[in-house]
Amino acid sequence: MKKILKGKLVAILSLVFLVVIAGCGIEKEEETSGEKKEGGVIKIGVIVAETGPASTLGSAQAKTVELLQKQLDEAGPIDGNKIQLIKQDYETNDTKAVVAMDKLISEGVVAVTGATQSSTTMAIIPKAIEKKLPLFTIAPIQSDSEYVYSMAQSTTVIAIPIVEYLKKNNIKKVAWVNASDGFGVTGKPAFEALAKENGIEIIAHEEFDATATDMTIQLTKVRKSNPEAIIVWSRTPGAGIIARNFKALNFDIPMIQSTAAANQGFLEQVKDDNENILVVGSKLSVIDQLPDSDQKEMLKAFNDSYVKEFNSKPDLFAAHLLDGVNVVVNAIKAGNVTSEDIHNYLQNDLGTYLGATGTFDFGVSQASPEPDGISVLSIENNDWKFTE
Amino acid sequence: MDLFLQYLITGLTVGSIYALLAVGFVTIYNVTGVLNLAQGEFAMIGALSCVTLVNLGIPIFGAIPLAILITAIIGLAVERLAINPARKATPIVLVVITLGVSIFLKGMGLIIWGTSPKSLPPLVESKSIEFMGAVVNSQSLWILVVLIAHLVVLYWFFEKTFLGSALRASEKNPRAASLMGINTSTMSMIAFTIAAGLGAIAGVMIAPLTDATYEMGFFIGIKGFVAMIFGGMHSIPGAVAGGLLLGVIEAFSGGYISTYYSDALAFGFLLLVLFFRPQGLFTKATGERV
């Protein structure tokens, strides 16, 4: 009886084995035939968090992909090649993003834009480098690889408008308060270096837990050293709570917050009590107040088509994605249809490119666009106000 | 001197938030013997549903009772659907179930309300008050009022009413309580409903200060739990005192030592309490009261 069972088991196992092998074979066949059929199609991969907790940032990016695909279809093929954007939702799960990256590579994309979060981006960078695939990152990261092009401002670049604002208002002594999480701690080193060059000194530094419910202690402590401005590096809701504590304590100096506070949630948190509160935000939020320029027209075109399609406003994160895809489309228009050619074109021939995030010049830096896309914004009538 | 006073006031403000949460913890623990790890989520649901009701145009004084009612019904549903079917299980299993409920409620909060923080107007719109050089937020005075009301009403309810005594009896000795004709299963349901309502009150009181997000429950829940341990698990006045003490320790250690370590110092103090007075700071170690 036992022997028979054993025999059956072996038979079943070998059958399973056969099926698996056969399955692999079939899959391979499909891939090759697929490639042959779609000769006139150039694919660009996009990895975003359309669902899951990071969808607050990712859903606008996913919508931008839809908008771009629609516009590309309307414009028609470029030199006989149709451009297809392949959007992968990684569900705010780094592992799924890596799988999505593999899938995109196997589909033969020429470049990839993504991912929504920094940690996810770090997880997919090695794959891009291995395959020599240009990767356009849309989250703040640090990478020295020649294949990584950052569409998001680096912390140093975000600090530039702050330092300029301080210089213009003759402020020399600032207090620095940040959240003690991953985002909060990145700001100070970048700012400090830049501030020192410009004769600005950080005279007090305090931290708070990113989930804390009150920052009165931190503000009371920095007040002792009489700063001329307070700089805060925190995400919401901490960013909004400290702004409210700041008003309750009757400070009469400006509080400057990072790009992490440049969103509707923060505006709602500081509603009706937002005097002296400044935020480094995208010019995308204040298009109508900008002086006439190519940048204004370009931002307006993006904003209007987005509003028309989705009835909501695009944000800075959507702008990063727009730029990531458009840079590749530009390279394709210049006659580059393989990863290698696109990479070489961006390295040597692109020059400056005016994106929605800011001006890109990959010859100078691949780590960040220039700071011309962001500005220190104040708040008036519960909406952003351009100050320059 | 004004710094000292500012730290003290901030500590009491933050501490009263923890105390509100701790009261809900103690209520369930005293009746069912279960630590309800979803207590913070009840506060979250109370706060966020109140925000939604206010945005629908309901005045704040109507929105708050409605939000408390909604949360109490959710508390009742949680007890009937998750706790009651497993009531024969050991307490540790029930605690793990409440952890699951907490994660589930947080997930639902994320789906319904999204990730951006929502603010709630305070009960009475007024500027913060200057008091001997220190600033007092008027909402924190309201929180203190509510806290005192909690103490009085809950004392009266648990000590002076029949239902309150029945609730206490079913934790002290469930078997004897059953023999006396008390339905312990119903008592557990009532305890969860009351605790969810208390959680919702905590949520709507603190949201004007801290804003409400789907993930607010975890942090204040942990702090409320610590306050409960300071107070010795069973005592509502002890939990309130524990909450205020925790807030004051955090404020002073942040103010006079370093804001980097205020959490570490507060939890260090918790360890000391557990080593030297595991029965709590505010209870007499007399063993079981008969």
Q: Which residue has the higher pLDDT, A383 or A141?
A: A383
Does B290 map to a domain?
A: no
Give the neighbor-by-neighbor strand order of the sheet with A82-89.
A82-89, A41-48, A111-114, A135-137, A148-150
Overall number of domains in chain B: 1
Query: Contact A265/B117, CB-based, under 8 Å?
Result: yes
pLDDT tens for residues A122-159? 999 999 999 999 999 998 888 888 899 999 998 889 99
Interface check for A371 against chain B (CB to CB < 8 A): the answer is: no
DSSP-based three-state secondary structure for B98: helix
Chain A: residue nearest B110 by CA? A53
Across the interface, whether the CB atoms of A216 and B128 are under 8 A apart is answered: no
Q: Is B277 a member of any domain?
A: no
Q: Which residues of A touch B13 (CB under 8 A)?
A: 214, 216
Q: How far apart are alpha carbons A248 and A245 in whole angstroms?
A: 5
Same domain? For A237 and A306 the reply is no
Whether residue A239 is found in the same domain as residue A379: yes
Average pLDDT over residues A313-341: 92
- Give the distance from residue A319's alpha carbon to the nearest chain B alpha carbon, in angstroms: 20
Tell me the residues of B at the A interface, defined by beta carbons under 8 Å apart: 3, 6-7, 10, 13-14, 17, 110, 114-119, 128, 135, 137, 206, 209-211, 213, 215-216, 218-220, 251, 254-255, 259-260, 262-263
Q: Residue A308 is part of a domain; what is its CATH number? A: 3.40.50.2300
Residue A200 sits in the same domain as residue A342: no
Task: Calculate how close chain B gets to A92, using CA atoms only, in Å.
Answer: 13
| Residue A80, domain member (yes or no) | yes
Same domain, A138 and A67: yes
Q: Which of A209, A213, A271 sits opposite B17 (nearest CB)?
A: A213
| Same domain membership, residue A189 and residue A142 | no
Number of domains in chain A: 2
User: Do B255 and A265 make contact, defined as CB atoms within 8 angstroms?
Assistant: no
C-alpha distance from residue A146 to each of A64, A132, A366 (Å): 26, 9, 8
Task: At A45, give phi and psi (nearest 5°).
Answer: -90, 145
Residue B245 resides in a domain: no
For position A38, what pLDDT does the model report?
46
pLDDT class for A31, splitting at 50, 70, 90? Answer: very low
Q: Does A240 touch chain B (CB under 8 A)?
A: yes
Asked if residue A230 and residue A269 are part of one domain, the reply reads yes
Interface residue of B5, B119, B215 to substitute, partner A, most A CBs within 10 Å: B119
Longest CA–CA span in chain B (Å) reads 60
Same domain assignment for residues A365 and A343:
yes
Contact criterion met (CB below 8 Å) for A18 and A60: no
Q: Which two tokens stand for residue A298?
A: 């370009």
Q: What's the full length of chain B, in residues?
A: 290
Examine residue A237 and say whether the peptide bond preceding it is cis (omega within 30 degrees of 0). Answer: yes
Q: Is there a single domain that holds both residue A117 and residue A167?
A: no
On whether residue B45 sits in a domain, the answer given is yes
B138, part of any domain: yes
Tokens 């006079």 appear where? B256
A-chain CB neighbours of B14 within 8 Å are 213-214
**Same structural domain, A313 and A335:** yes
Q: Is B191 within the bounds of a domain?
A: yes
CA dist B83 and A275 (Å) reads 49
| Cβ neighbourhood burial of A95 (10 Å; 0-12, 13-18, 19+) | exposed
In this structure, is residue B7 part of a structural domain?
yes
Phi and psi at residue B277, in whole multiples of 5°? Answer: -135, 65
Q: Do the domain assignments include residue A7?
A: no
| Whether residue A379 is found in the same domain as residue A261 | yes
The residue range of the domain holding B212 is 2-218
User: What is d(CA A284, CA A324) in angstroms, rounded to the nearest whole number?
Assistant: 16
Query: Would you state the pLDDT for residue B1?
Result: 55
Mean pLDDT of each 10-residue bin along chain B, 290 residues long: 83 92 91 90 95 92 94 95 88 91 92 85 77 81 91 92 88 84 88 94 90 88 91 89 93 86 84 86 60
- Which residues pair with residue A280 across a beta bridge? A376
Q: Clarify whether residues A257 and A180 are in a common domain.
A: yes
What phi, psi does B241 have (nearest 5°)?
Answer: -60, -40
Structural domain for A263, as ranges: 155-287+375-386
Is-cis flag, bond preceding A115, omega within 30?
yes
pLDDT at A25: 44
A155 within 8 A of A184, measured Cβ to Cβ: no
Place of tokens 């020399």: A172
Sequence-ordered alpha helix ranges (H) in chain A: 2-37, 55-75, 94-106, 118-130, 155-168, 187-197, 216-223, 238-248, 264-269, 294-310, 316-333, 339-348
